[in-house]
Amino acid sequence: MSNMSPMSFDVGALLLETVPFARTLGIVFDSVEDGRAECRLPDRPELHNHVGGPHAGTLFTLAESASGAAVLSRFGDQLSRCVPLPTTATIEFRKVALGEVRAEARVAASREEVVGKLDAGERPVFDVVVDVLDAAGTQVSTLTVTWTLRPNRP
């Protein structure tokens, strides 16, 4: 069984179309492929906090958006039978971020494991780990988002 999910749509464009807040912030998707996503938030003064970097809420939204794109890239072909939903998220702010920030997300579960649970009539739960980096490549935050694929009701 292949580890690649068939993708017939632009995941970043879909996410920006369906999540207006991500579009409002100006999040840009650079790379989305099988269980991984990278996006960035250009530096804009109106998004700054009291120390001159991106506000914590913008860092969270950037990272959560990357996690959603990573989920869609791996399980997008399952949307006819389930809805992906985040259930919990934990963020750690490690350093003050300055300038443009980038989020790199990766699904921490195999496609076979998650789709197998769906096939068995179960509700899969899995984590997506996201690193948030500043323009120099220094890790400024980490986020772990727990996702589930809620089966559609008949």
Q: Cα(152)–Cα(132) distance, rounded to whole angstroms?
A: 33
108 within a domain of the structure (yes/no): yes
* Two structure tokens written together for 3: 């580890």
The number of distinct structural domains making up the chain is: 1
67 within a domain of the structure (yes/no): yes
Reduced to 3 states (helix: H, G, I; strand: E, B; else coil), residue 87 is strand
pLDDT of residue 76: 93
pLDDT of residue 1: 34
4 within a domain of the structure (yes/no): no
Q: Cα(138)–Cα(122) distance, rounded to whole angstroms?
A: 39
1 within a domain of the structure (yes/no): no
* Two structure tokens written together for 63: 């990272």
141 within a domain of the structure (yes/no): yes
Q: List the CATH number of the domain containing 56.
A: 3.10.129.10
25 within a domain of the structure (yes/no): yes
Query: In which domain, by residue range, is 147 found?
Result: 11-151
How many of the other CB atoms lie within 10 Å of CB of 111? 19
Each of the 154 residues of the chain gets a pLDDT tens digit; together they read 334 444 556 888 888 888 888 888 999 999 999 999 999 999 999 999 999 899 999 999 999 999 999 999 999 999 999 999 999 999 999 999 999 999 999 999 999 999 999 999 999 999 999 999 999 999 999 999 999 999 998 7
pTM for the structure as a whole:
0.90
